[in-house]
Amino acid sequence: MTTPAALTELGDTKKSMKRPKGPSPKLSPAARRRSLTGWAFLLPAAALIGIMMFWPMFQALILSFKTGRGTNLAFADPLWFNYTRMLHDEVFIQTIKTTMLYLVIQVPIMLISALVLANILNNPRLRFKGFWRTAIFLPAAISLVSYSLVFRTIFATDGLVNDWLLALHLIDGPVNWLGQPGTARMVIILGLLWRWTGYNMIFYLAGLQNIDPTTIEAAKIDGAGPLRTFFSVTIPQLKPMILLTVIMSINGTLQMFDESFNLTQGGPANTSMTMSHYLYKVSFQNNPNFGYGAALSYVILIMVAILAAIQMKVGDKRD
Amino acid sequence: MKILRAGAAVAATAAFTLGLAACSSGGSGDATGGSSESSGSGGNTLTVWAWDPTFNIYAMQEAEKVYQQDHPDFKLDIQEMTWDDIQTKMTTIAQAQQYDQLPDIFLVQNNAFQKNAINYPDLFAPLTDSGIDFTEFPAGVAAYSTIDGVNYGVPFDSGTAVNAMRTDILSQAGYTIDDFTDVSWDDYITMGKDILDKTGYPLLSGQAGSSDMIMMMLQSAGASLFDDQGNPTIVDNAALEASINVYSEMVKDGIFTEVNSWDEYINSLVNGNVASTINGIWISGSLQSATDQSGDWAVTDLPALSGIDGATHYSANGGSSWAISSNADYALASDFLKSTFAGSTDLYDTILPGAGAVANWLPAGDSTVYSQPVDFFGGQAIYADVLKFAAQVPSNNTGVYYYEARDAVSAAITKIMGGEDMQTALQEAQDTVEFAMS
């Protein structure tokens, strides 16, 4: 995962590397050796990334211009056939809407509660801090598949939630949580919140610990209440961290697969299916249409890239 | 600076999506790793892929013993592999054209046979010259693995549908199993309501959003979601509409309880929450795990759709067939299948009591083992009955897009149950399937 900090570093090193290259390309033998050593260290990783990531990506791009079932692939006519095809794909459009719904509801709730939790945990007077921190972070250490299956069991018609609600006389009969579009989506969002809130909280905690306590003290002396301090002093200093978590969460949500696949199997009536789940279905479960699947994956990539670019532009005011 | 960073962000996000992109790049190096067995290399050993140690793998082991009687050097190398893995492997091998990675014989789900054999014709060896007499299998079952008149699979386990009922619950409401034999769905629903009122037990349970029940009703009338040319016939399909009507009426009346997972479905049977189930005969294996219900079960034929041409009391769900791969030692593999699964009464006599594997091979039905009473089913010789049903199951065209059509119809049923107009929902389903086929 590339953090904004790392991105800045990347930019900076590129800039600084340019400098000696500038007017005098001549390097002293020692400097050249150092430079070569550096490149030698970079090469294996760069080559691996190139071969295992960028080359398949390039092949996928080519593949996305092909059409046909199974092995009978041929270049489509017109080339962008797969891309125009998805405009008429009702199921894909529904998965986009569903994914966006998850995004719009889940990401803000998750990030705000992560922020609140991080602030509570950052309070120096809180007791058993380590315990709370571990308890809240622990879900993030659990495999996506296993937690999905646990949620599936909890929300089964004869599952824990129904048993409790029945015992409390809040409902008359068992609710078919995963069998109705609204509740099925709600269960997925709940699962996501449970799994990822602690994860994001750790980022905020790290960010909060980097904030100079004197700034908060100064605000207090100036007469700011806790809310004012939070919004005017803490939040601005947390901004890079918030930006990072927002990008990561949007990224993760747009590519969400495990929950949709394991928890609800995309049902009922495809209403809880995510884009990535549909892409998997098109490629592997239905008649294999790898060309179309590749095109779908590129559209997801483009959506992620655009959203990330907007985030960077909106969120970063340092330049 | 900003542009550079945005560029870097694009690169970074590109890396995130890569997993997906790589997934769909068609597996360029995947197939070479993993299995190193030298299948199809001649000799006396055949490699086999199958998935259930207590069922089809067990049957293969018994077949090995049968064949060894005449061919002492013969050996099988059976590799356990779930159906999902076999499907993924087939796809990967075919995409990468690494056919030497195929075993000699592998088991294929009947419903997925057409799709794989048509999309990847090079995976399978035609059984035309194998000497296997396919007329000794029920036409409806052999049709799953027949493409353009050529057989590609030897039908193994029977998916013949049965209506298995708890006679103790029926008698509480004053019914016997005979009251449910050769009835129509209308009568079935009437009696179901009565049983629900008197005993509180719903008749059926099943997975919500699964179309198994509908597909069984459809096939019982010889109908399908496709016509003979393979065009979808989801709209203006009288049998489908009748099936959906029956299904939604049963759910509304509470005769059919919808559950969410396969496990919940099995639990509803084993825990005795329902009075009956309708499914392929392979369900008898799961039923018999509830030893406390021994003797309380009986088996009869299915209700028939009223007012539909060609409606019968017989249908099928699931089942699988043995295929010989294009990489196989064809002579040995075909002779092995011909002498065992398509020619050995002994084999079927062993695996029926051993694993509850009901033969599709019709001559096996003459064996006395099939007429043995089964205690769990109150002394009924259910396997003999099942064979009688099997011979009458109407054949229907599953086609290449069977899974897409099933999914689309499942979605439509969910919508119809949610109050959407049936014609609209079915039209949407038809559009979805036509889109997938375009």
pTM: 0.77
Determine phi and psi for A89, rounding to 5 degrees.
-90, 100
- Of the candidates B264, B404, B407, the beta carbon closest to that of A157 is on B264
**d(C-alpha B323, C-alpha B48), whole Å:** 10
Identify which has the larger pLDDT, A289 or B17: A289
- Of the candidates B23, B412, B415, the beta carbon closest to that of A283 is on B23
- Of the candidates B12, B22, B95, the beta carbon closest to that of A56 is on B22
Contacts of A300 in chain B (CB under 8 A): 17, 20
Does A123 lie at the interface with B, CB-CB under 8 angstroms?
no
- In one-letter notation, the amino acid at residue B385 is D
Strand partners, B166: B297
Radius of gyration of chain B (CA): 24
- Of the candidates A255, A285, A312, the beta carbon closest to that of B16 is on A255
**d(C-alpha A265, C-alpha A273), whole Å:** 7
Which structure tokens are listed for B433?
């399937």
Which among B407, B17, B248 is positioned nearest to A64, based on CA atoms?
B17
Closest residue on chain B to A318 (Cα): B2
Does A243 lie at the interface with B, CB-CB under 8 angstroms?
no
Cα A300 to chain centroid distance, Å, stands at 13
- In one-letter notation, the amino acid at residue B83 is W
Determine phi and psi for A252, rounding to 5 degrees.
-65, -40
Distance from CA of A55 to the nearest CA of B (A): 9
Which whole-number Å values give the CA distances from B274 to A140, B136, B164, in the listed order?
A: 40, 37, 11
Which whole-number Å values give the CA distances from A85 to A20, A80, A226, in the listed order?
A: 50, 9, 54
Partner-chain contact B6 A269, CB within 8 Å: no
Does A94 lie at the interface with B, CB-CB under 8 angstroms?
no
* Residue B197 CB neighbour total at 10 angstroms: 10
Give residues 207 to 226 of B whose Cβ lies within 8 Å of A: 208-209
Which among B249, B280, B237 is positioned nearest to B184, based on CA atoms?
B249
Are the C-beta atoms of B131 and B338 separated by less than 8 Å?
yes
Does A92 lie at the interface with B, CB-CB under 8 angstroms?
no
Confidence of residue A5 (pLDDT cuts 50, 70, 90): very low
Partner-chain contact A71 B20, CB within 8 Å: no
**d(C-alpha A83, C-alpha B218), whole Å:** 36
Sign, CA dihedral B63-B64-B65-B66, equals: positive
pLDDT of residue B212: 87
Cα A246 to chain centroid distance, Å, stands at 8
Partner-chain contact B119 A287, CB within 8 Å: yes
Does B14 lie at the interface with A, CB-CB under 8 angstroms?
yes
Which among B203, B212, B116 is positioned nearest to B159, based on CA atoms?
B212
Give residues 45 to 104 of B whose Cβ lies within 8 Å of A: 87-88, 91, 94-95, 97
Tell me what percent of the residues of chain A surpass a pLDDT of 70.
90
Partner-chain contact A71 B120, CB within 8 Å: yes
Strand partners, B48: B78, B105
Residues 6+ apart with CB under 8 A from B215: B317, B406
**d(C-alpha B389, C-alpha B392), whole Å:** 5
Which among B20, B207, B407 is positioned nearest to A273, based on CA atoms?
B407
Provide long-range contacts, Cβ within 8 A and 24+ apart, for B419-423.
B422/B241, B422/B244, B423/B235
Give residues 205 to 234 of A whose Cβ lies within 8 Å of B: none
Closest residue on chain B to A149 (Cα): B261
Does B3 lie at the interface with A, CB-CB under 8 angstroms?
no
Give residues 390 to 409 of B whose Cβ lies within 8 Å of A: 400-401, 403-404, 407
Closest residue on chain B to A69 (Cα): B119
Partner-chain contact A90 B435, CB within 8 Å: yes
Burial class of residue A264, CB neighbours in 10 A (0-12, 13-18, 19+):
buried
Confidence of residue A317 (pLDDT cuts 50, 70, 90): low
Contacts of A71 in chain B (CB under 8 A): 94-95, 97, 119-120, 122
**d(C-alpha A22, C-alpha B353), whole Å:** 84
**d(C-alpha A71, C-alpha B96), whole Å:** 9
- Of the candidates B12, B403, B415, the beta carbon closest to that of A269 is on B415
Which structure tokens are listed for B167?
């006679």
Partner-chain contact B5 A63, CB within 8 Å: no
Does A152 lie at the interface with B, CB-CB under 8 angstroms?
yes
Partner-chain contact A298 B21, CB within 8 Å: yes
Does B119 lie at the interface with A, CB-CB under 8 angstroms?
yes
pLDDT of residue B68: 92
Contacts of B420 in chain A (CB under 8 A): none
N- to C-terminal Cα distance for chain B? Answer: 46
Partner-chain contact A287 B436, CB within 8 Å: yes
pLDDT of residue B148: 85
Give residues 34 to 53 of A whose Cβ lies within 8 Å of B: 53
Q: What is the 3-state secondary structure (H, E, C) of chain A?
A: CCCHHHHHHHHHHHHHHHHHHCCCCCCCHHHHHHHHHHHHHHHHHHHHHHHHHHHHHHHHHHHCCEECCCCCCEECCCCCHHHHHHHHCHHHHHHHHHHHHHHHHHHHHHHHHHHHHHHHHHCCCCCCHHHHHHHHHHHHHCCHHHHHHHHHHHCCCCCHHHHHHHHCCCCCCCCCHHHCHHHHHHHHHHHHHHHHHHHHHHHHHHHHHCCCHHHHHHHHHCCCCHHHHHHHHHHHHHHHHHHHHHHHHHHHHHCCCHHHHHHHCCCCCCCCCCHHHHHHHHHHHCCCCHHHHHHHHHHHHHHHHHHHHHHHHHHCCCC
| Cα-based angle B330, B336, B339 (whole degrees, multiple of 5) | 135
- Of the candidates B2, B17, B118, the beta carbon closest to that of A300 is on B17
- Of the candidates A288, A296, A319, the beta carbon closest to that of B119 is on A288
Determine phi and psi for B271, rounding to 5 degrees.
-80, 0
Strand partners, B325: B124
Distance from CA of B375 to the nearest CA of A (A): 31
Contacts of A176 in chain B (CB under 8 A): 208, 258, 260
Instruction: Note the ipTM here.
Output: 0.71
* Residue A205 CB neighbour total at 10 angstroms: 21
B12-29 tens-digit pLDDT = 444 444 444 444 333 333
Give residues 298 to 357 of B whose Cβ lies within 8 Å of A: none
Does A84 lie at the interface with B, CB-CB under 8 angstroms?
no
Number of Cβ pairs < 8 A linking chain A and chain B: 181
Which structure tokens are listed for B185?
């769905």
- Of the candidates B5, B264, B267, the beta carbon closest to that of A7 is on B5
**d(C-alpha B263, C-alpha B284), whole Å:** 15
Closest residue on chain B to A52 (Cα): B22
Contacts of B409 in chain A (CB under 8 A): none
Which among A62, A70, A10 is positioned nearest to B1, based on CA atoms?
A10
- Least confident residue range of A110-114, A117-121, B53-57, B62-66: B53-57
Residues 6+ apart with CB under 8 A from B114: B144, B147, B398, B399, B400, B402
Partner-chain contact B22 A57, CB within 8 Å: yes
Determine phi and psi for A210, rounding to 5 degrees.
-85, -10
Contacts of A283 in chain B (CB under 8 A): 23-24
Q: What is the 3-state secondary structure (H, E, C) of chain B?
A: CHHHHHHHHHHHHHHHHHHHHHHCCCCCCCCCCCCCCCCCCCCCEEEEEECCCCCHHHHHHHHHHHHHCCCCCCEEEEEECCHHHHHHHHHHHHHHCCHHHCCCEEEEEHHHHHHHHHHCHHHECCCHHHCCCHHHCCHHHHHHHEECCEECEEECECCEEEEEEEHHHHHHCCCCHHHHCCCEHHHHHHHHHHHHHHHCCCCEEEECCCCHHHHHHHHHCCCCCECCCCCECCCCCHHHHHHHHHHHHHHHHCCEEEECCHHHHHHHHHCCCCCEEEEECCHHHHHCCCHHHCCCEEEECCCECCCCCCCCCCCECCCEEEEEECCCCHHHHHHHHHHCCCCCHHHHHHHHHHHCCCECCHHHHHCHHHHCCEHHHCCECHHHHHHHHHCCCCCCCCCCCHHHHHHHHHHHHHHHHCCCCHHHHHHHHHHHHHHHHC
Contacts of A304 in chain B (CB under 8 A): 13, 16-17
pLDDT of residue B8: 46
- Of the candidates A10, A71, A301, the beta carbon closest to that of B95 is on A71
Per-residue pLDDT of chain B (438 residues; tens, 9 = 90+): 444 444 444 444 444 444 444 443 333 333 333 333 444 444 789 999 998 887 888 889 999 999 999 888 899 999 998 888 898 888 888 888 889 999 999 999 888 888 888 888 889 999 988 888 888 888 878 888 888 889 999 988 878 899 999 999 999 999 999 999 999 999 999 999 999 999 999 999 988 777 889 989 998 998 888 888 888 888 888 899 999 999 999 998 989 988 877 778 888 888 888 999 999 888 887 888 888 888 899 999 999 998 888 889 999 887 889 999 998 888 999 999 999 998 888 888 888 877 777 878 888 877 888 888 888 888 888 888 888 888 888 877 777 888 888 888 988 888 888 888 899 999 989 988 888 887
Which whole-number Å values give the CA distances from B326 to A224, B60, B81, B88, B333, in the listed order?
A: 78, 20, 19, 17, 11
Does B431 lie at the interface with A, CB-CB under 8 angstroms?
yes
Contacts of B115 in chain A (CB under 8 A): 287
**d(C-alpha B359, C-alpha B340), whole Å:** 12
Mean pLDDT of the A225-254 span: 87
pLDDT of residue B370: 81
| Cα-based angle B169, B174, B177 (whole degrees, multiple of 5) | 65
